[in-house]
């Protein structure tokens, strides 16, 4: 069983400046919902109700979003606007939220390690809210698909998709053996953080959905700064992969890179056309 989902949400979101000067990037809305809410909904759909959020300075809006706003609720009670809060109210009722702050930005691996205090010694999911995922025609969300795979293999699971070869330097890239043709499941043998197209072992890229076993924390504590001088989750996962303990899963669905303006616009158009709001 996976009970907790960690959301690293301390980054600056520099690609969206000036919008992210005083607003957390996780709170940028795709239509009427902030990015992080899509991630929380995906976790809840996967049966996970404890949300552990690693924040930083200037990120208080995230905490306020997942809380009651008494004044606002009082103002719109009984009006036609009240139903607009139904969805977020229902999330708040079904989930618990806990927070810790990352005081220095030392990379994704460091953010995950900062979250240890909220997770403890159990396997957990990780959602990078920048990667907005939707099952798009499939019945189950991406995290839900991954929980099922974790139940079978009982090791760390990472979501992957094919990217064009010239884009390998934007992602963690894996190499592995296909072990289940029907489900696109690989046993990972190698992982490299953001390699150039020449160095990349494949074009199978890690996207921001993981299920991690708790030994990752001890490995992260030992992990030296890697690409960009940051502590990289990819490097820590490579240690698990050497022990044959990482599975990569080519998920069913669509992912939008909402960390980039293009991806954000694509996501907005997709959900608008779908008639979400």
In the complex, which residues of this chain contact ligand G1P (CB under 6 A)? Answer: 108, 128, 131, 171-172, 193, 205-208, 232-234, 259
**Nearer Cβ to ligand G1P (135/195):** 195
Q: Name residues whose C-beta falls within 8 Å of residue 263's C-beta, 6 or more positions apart in sequence.
A: 132, 256, 257
Nearest distance, CB of residue 275 and ligand G1P, angstroms: 27
Nearest distance, CB of residue 172 and ligand G1P, angstroms: 3
Best CA proximity match to 124, nearest among 49, 212, 221, 48: 212
Cα distance between residue 184 and residue 202, in whole Å: 15
Sign of CA dihedral 140, 91, 209, 220: negative
**Nearer Cβ to ligand G1P (91/248):** 248
Nearest distance, CB of residue 133 and ligand G1P, angstroms: 11
**Nearer Cβ to ligand G1P (34/259):** 259
Helix%, strand%, coil% for the chain, nearest 5: 40, 25, 35
**Nearer Cβ to ligand G1P (6/91):** 6
- Among left, alpha and beta (phi > 0; psi -120 to 50; other), residue 174 is beta
Segment (H or E) for 241: helix 233-242
Burial 28-55 (b: 16+ CB within 10 A, else e): bebeebbbbbbbbbbbbebebebbbbbb
Nearest distance, CB of residue 255 and ligand G1P, angstroms: 9
**Nearer Cβ to ligand G1P (62/108):** 108
Cα distance between residue 264 and residue 99, in whole Å: 26
Nearest distance, CB of residue 38 and ligand G1P, angstroms: 14
Nearest distance, CB of residue 194 and ligand G1P, angstroms: 7
Q: Which two tokens stand for residue 9?
A: 């949400």
Q: Which two tokens stand for residue 249?
A: 């899963």
Nearest distance, CB of residue 131 and ligand G1P, angstroms: 5
Q: Name residues whose C-beta falls within 8 Å of residue 139's C-beta, 6 or more positions apart in sequence.
A: none
3-state secondary structure of 153: helix
**Nearer Cβ to ligand G1P (124/171):** 171
**Nearer Cβ to ligand G1P (27/237):** 237
**Nearer Cβ to ligand G1P (88/172):** 172
The residue nearest ligand G1P at its CB is 172
Nearest distance, CB of residue 75 and ligand G1P, angstroms: 38
């Amino acid at each position: 069983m996976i009970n907790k989902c960690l959301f690293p949400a301390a980054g600056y979101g520099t690609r969206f400046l000036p919008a992210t000067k005083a607003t957390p990037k996780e709170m940028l809305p795709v239509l009427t919902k902030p990015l992080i809410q899509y991630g929380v909904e995906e976790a809840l759909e996967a049966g996970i109700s404890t949300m552990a959020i690693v924040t930083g300075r200037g990120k208080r809006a995230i905490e306020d979003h997942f809380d009651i706003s008494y004044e606002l609720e009082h103002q719109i009670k009984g009006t036609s606007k009240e139903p607009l809060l139904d969805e977020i109210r229902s999330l708040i009722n079904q989930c618990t939220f806990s927070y810790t702050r990352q005081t220095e930005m030392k990379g994704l691996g460091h953010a995950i390690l900062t979250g240890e205090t909220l997770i403890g010694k159990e396997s957990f999911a990780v959602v990078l809210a920048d990667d907005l995922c939707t099952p798009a025609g499939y019945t189950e969300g991406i995290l839900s698909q991954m929980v099922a795979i974790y139940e079978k293999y009982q090791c760390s699971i990472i979501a992957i998709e094919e990217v064009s070869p010239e884009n390998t330097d934007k992602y963690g890239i894996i190499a592995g053996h296909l072990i289940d043709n029907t489900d696109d499941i690989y046993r990972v043998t190698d992982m490299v953080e953001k390699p150039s197209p020449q160095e990349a072992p494949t074009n199978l890229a890690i996207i921001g959905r993981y299920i991690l076993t708790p030994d990752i924390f001890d490995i992260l504590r030992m992990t030296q700064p890697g690409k960009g001088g940051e502590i990289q989750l990819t490097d820590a996962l490579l240690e698990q992969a050497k022990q044959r303990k990482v599975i990569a899963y080519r998920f069913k669905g669509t992912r939008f890179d909402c960390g980039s303006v293009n991806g954000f616009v694509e996501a907005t158009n997709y959900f608008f056309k779908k008639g979400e709001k």
